[in-house]
Amino acid sequence: MGDELLIYGSYGYAGALIARRAVDEGLSPVLAGRNAERIEEQALELGCEHRVLSLEHPEVLERALEDVSVVLNCAGPFSSTAEPLYSACLHAGTDYLDITGEIDVLEAIAERDRDAETAGVTLLPGTGFDVVPTDCLAGYLETRLPSATRLTLAIDGLGTFSPGTIKAIVEELPRSGAIREDGAIRTVPAAWRTRRLDFGQGPKPAVTVPWGDVSTAYYATGIPNIEVYATVPEPAIELMRRTRPLAPAFGTRPVQWALKRLADAAFSGPTAEERAQSVTRIRGEVENDDGERAAARLLTPDTYELTAHTAVEAARRTLEGEVGTGFQTPATAFGPDFVLEFDGVEREDVEEIERDPTDADR
User: Which run of H or E residues covers position 356?
Assistant: none
| Per-position DSSP letters for 280-294, written without gaps between them | EEEEEEEE-TTS-EE
The CA-atom distances, in angstroms, between 219 and each of 58, 93, 111, 330 are: 29, 23, 11, 10
Q: Is 155 exposed, middle or buried (0-12, 13-18, 19+ CB in 10 A)?
A: buried
Encode the chain (362 residues) as per-residue pLDDT tens digits.
446 999 999 999 999 999 999 999 999 999 999 999 999 999 999 999 999 999 999 999 999 999 999 999 999 889 999 999 999 999 999 999 999 999 999 999 999 999 999 999 999 999 999 899 999 999 999 999 999 999 999 999 765 544 554 444 444 555 568 999 999 999 998 778 999 999 998 899 898 989 999 999 999 999 999 999 988 876 666 656 655 555 565 455 554 445 445 445 545 566 777 777 778 999 999 999 999 999 999 999 999 999 999 999 999 999 999 999 999 999 999 999 999 999 999 999 998 666 665 554 44
Give the three-class secondary structure for 196: strand
Domains (range + CATH), the chain: 4-128+305-335 (3.40.50.720), 132-302+342-361 (3.30.360.10)
Task: Report how far residue 362's alpha carbon sits from residue 189's, in angstroms, rounded to the nearest whole number.
Answer: 9
Determine contact, residues 39/54, Cβ cutoff 8 Å: no
Alpha helices in 173-292 (DSSP H): 213-221, 234-242, 247-250, 253-266, 272-277
Determine contact, residues 205/231, Cβ cutoff 8 Å: yes
Residues 6+ apart with CB under 8 A from 182: 224, 225
Scored b (16 or more CB within 10 A) or e, 308-344 reads: bbbbbbbbbbbbeeebeebbbbbbbbbebebbeebee
Determine contact, residues 93/198, Cβ cutoff 8 Å: no
